[in-house]
Amino acid sequence: MRSVIAYTSARILLFAATAVILYLIGLTGLINLALAVLISGIVSYVLLSRQRDAVSTAFVSKKDQLTKSTADED
């Protein structure tokens, strides 16, 4: 669960930082938000790959635990 919170927080902070930088450059409104989503998505794909892998591992592990407990009940 901790990896999910860390990854989500990093994505939000990266988006906010990108939006602020674009605002300081002079972009406002919907253009700012659209470019912030696009740029932060590309940057997070590169910079946050380790955290994304940790989140994926956590989800697979949880799924395996749920599958095993469901099989044990049957």
Based on the structure, what is the number of domains in the chain?
Answer: 1
Tell me, yes or no, whether 73 lies in a domain.
no
Tell me, yes or no, whether 64 lies in a domain.
yes
Tell me, yes or no, whether 15 lies in a domain.
yes
Contacts 24+ apart (CB under 8 A), 1-8: 1/58, 3/51, 3/54, 3/55, 3/57, 3/58, 4/55, 4/58, 6/51, 6/54, 7/48, 7/51, 7/52, 7/54, 7/55
Tell me, yes or no, whether 58 lies in a domain.
yes
Percent share of the chain, pLDDT over 70? 93
pTM of structure: 0.77
Say if residue 14's pLDDT is above 80: yes
Residue 47: CB partners within 8 Å, gap ≥ 6? Answer: 14
